[in-house]
Amino acid sequence: MAGSATHNRIDIELRHGGEIIFARGDTWCATPRSIDGIEARELVLSCVSMRPGDTDDEYFAGYTPKQLAWAEKYGEALSCEREARYCNENGSCRDE
């Protein structure tokens, strides 16, 4: 919302090896309680680590071939890193 002090989404830009995979505005996620806490970081990594087969095909309908190839190649490793950094033993996001 322009001019608003509140946020209702996080626009994501993903770079890998100096190359932009998801440009800002290509993908986004809903804002958790804060935009800079553990929940936000876990949510962003969850969003960009999704691979075909993880959810409905419609999720990937807007992906470019380059984005889809990146997700297939790196999604699993990124998901494992997300879980190691931000999740508890039950797979839920750790408290701040």
DSSP state of 96: -
Residue 58: predicted pLDDT: 92
Region of 12 (left: φ > 0; alpha: ψ -120 to 50; beta: rest) is: beta
Question: Which residue type sits at 66?
Answer: K
CA angle 46, 50, 51 (to 5 degrees): 160
Residue with tokens 């890193």: 81
Residue pair 40/32 in contact (Cβ under 8 Å)? The answer is yes
Report pTM.
Answer: 0.74
Is the pLDDT assigned to residue 37 strictly greater than 80?
Answer: no
Residue 91: predicted pLDDT: 67
Q: Domain for residue 96, yes or no?
A: no
Q: Which of 50, 74, 35, 80 is closest to 91 using CA atoms?
A: 80
**Domain span at residue 47?**
9-86
How many domains does the structure of the chain reveal? 1
Residue 10: predicted pLDDT: 82
